[in-house]
Amino acid sequence: MLNIVLHEPEIPANTGNIGRTCVAAGARLHLIEPLGFRLDEKSLKRAGMDYWKDLDVTTYIDYRDFLEKNPGAKIYMATTKAPRVYTDVRYEPDCYIMFGKESAGIPEEILVEHQDTCVRIPMMGQIRSLNLGNSVAIVLYEALRQNGFAELNREGHLHRLSWEK
């Protein structure tokens, strides 16, 4: 099972949206405090819709607490400061993909410790970053693709509408 880690997320709607994406993708969500909201906030639940109850989510007091409770975790750091693109690495089925808070990203001191696993999403010119929810979806679904979309529904079925007869 893949793991999405949000380091000090600030916007409840983004985290709710990411939670919904994690449920759809069969991924766990890890939230490193401090959070810019309370987990019972209405906007968080609204963005996560009725999926929030199905979410496998764990919170941590701080980054050190996260590391202590996930020893030996392979962690990829999504950052605009990375020298390589997110499609250039091979994501293990149980890896962790970390994203930083909306206003500042992952702290530099953490990135320096994980330089070899930093990845970026290519963007035009001087664009600072994408929306956090979009960034998570892009990288998470690449990791899922690389792992054969294990256990995910890979096909849908169209039903002929009654008025088309």
Tens of pLDDT, residues 50-75: 777 899 999 999 999 999 999 999 99
Nearest-angstrom CA–CA distance, 25 and 55: 11
Nearest-angstrom CA–CA distance, 112 and 108: 6
- Of the pLDDT bands very low, low, confident and very high (cuts 50, 70, 90), residue 130 is very high
Average pLDDT, the chain: 91
Tens of pLDDT, residues 2-60: 999 999 999 988 999 999 999 999 999 999 999 998 887 676 666 556 777 899 999 99
Task: Give strand pairing partners of 31.
Answer: 6, 59
Q: Is 127 annotated as a binding residue?
A: no
Nearest-angstrom CA–CA distance, 32 and 13: 16
- The per-residue pLDDT for 47 is 59
Which has the higher per-residue pLDDT, 31 or 164? Answer: 31
Structural domain that includes position 89: 3-164
Q: Is 110 annotated as a binding residue?
A: no
| 125-139 average pLDDT score | 93
Query: What CATH number is attached to the domain comprising 19?
Result: 3.40.1280.10
| Residue 150 neighbours by CB under 8 Å, 6+ apart | 93, 144
Question: Is residue 94 over pLDDT 60?
Answer: yes
- The total number of structural domains in the chain stands at 1
**Sheet order of strands, 118-119 included:** 57-60, 28-32, 3-7, 96-99, 75-78, 118-119
Q: Is 125 annotated as a binding residue?
A: no
pTM over 0.85: yes
| 139-145 average pLDDT score | 97
Residue 86 per-residue DSSP state: G
